[in-house]
Amino acid sequence: MMENYSFEYPYALLLIILFVVLSLLFKRRRDSYYIPNIIKTLPTTKKSSFINTLLKYSMLLTLLLSLASPILTKQLPDENKHTLDIVLSLDTSGSMSLNGFNELDYNQSRWSVVQDVASDFIEERSKDRIGLVIFGDTSAIASPLSYSSSSPLNSIQNISIGLIGRSTALIDSLATATSLLEHSLSSSKLIILLSDGDDTASKIPLEIVLKLLSKHHIKVYTISIGESNNNLLELISSQTQAKSFTATNKKDLSSVYKEISSLEATTHNLSAIKVIEYLYFYPLSLTLLLALTLAYRTRKSEKI
């Protein structure tokens, strides 16, 4: 925990200089009348005057300190939340059933490879909020943003190819993923979009989606797998200040997810809670005490 003392309105302290200048320019003149018969009965007048002056200026100083509003700022680490919100947008169209993407297991389909690699990524990002979107003829939220990795992991394992159609509504999936992130308070919002083909079914224009991504400050990392034309994916990534990747086998895909993870791990640390404690009450209380003391001494001297 870090603590830092400061003033909310430090310029108020400059008033001290103004009061010092005024006191030097406008000194109190000698009294215009004397009472000779009682001067000798007031031997402590000079001492009393000095103490009263000290009380007066001390009261002024503590009042200005209160006006400057001293504060204590504490930085408390928040161990429960991370600065990253991530949505995985995955292609479940018919072409994802093709085999041969895993060189070590030719019979494993593209979707089965994606399930394995994406699941590993989810488990590694256990401190992030992760959501899941899938797309075919249309797009759908398979798992909302959650700190619990079990939700997206269970969802991704239970999704089958063609669940929502065999076409590729790639651009629509970005709109759906944005709907998960638009109200996020995270300092960094990411979409990792994976597809093996061109868009063939989206109804939302690309220009609209790009404006939404820009409005909500969302970066889109894109992954093109197989022999797909990745020009659209490269455009989306470049427009959102992110990066586009191509993977031709399972090993490549695993490396891509690890690279994305490393790119976002070094610049985003655990968030912190900022707690501000206002301390003006203490100098204000001291001002009141000094004022009462000065009033008491002045009243006492008047009785003498």
Confidence (pLDDT) at 29: 57
* pLDDT, tens digit (0-9, with 9 covering 90-100), for 105-136: 999 999 999 999 999 999 999 889 999 999 99
Question: What mean pLDDT, rounded, does the chain reach?
Answer: 86
Does residue 159 sit in the same domain as residue 221? yes
Please give the residue that has the higher pLDDT: either 98 or 185.
98
**CA–CA separation, 74 vs 200, rounded Å?**
53
Q: Provide the number of structural domains found in the chain.
A: 2
Alpha-carbon gap, residue 204 to 174, rounded angstroms: 10
pLDDT at 208: 97
Give bridge partners of residue 244 from the DSSP assignment. Answer: 222
Statement to judge: residues 170 and 292 lie in one domain: no
**Whether residues 214 and 193 fall in one domain:** yes
The verdict on 286 and 238 lying in the same domain is no
pLDDT in tens, 37-87: 544 444 445 556 788 888 888 888 898 899 989 998 887 665 554 568 999
Reported pTM: 0.64
Q: Are residues 21 and 147 in the same domain?
A: no
Same domain, 32 and 132: no
The widest CA-to-CA distance across the chain, in whole angstroms, is 120
| Same domain, yes or no: 99 and 217 | yes
The band of 245, judged by pLDDT with boundaries at 50, 70 and 90, is very high
What is the sign, positive or negative, of the torsion defined by CA atoms of 130, 239, 211, 203?
negative
pLDDT at 303: 59
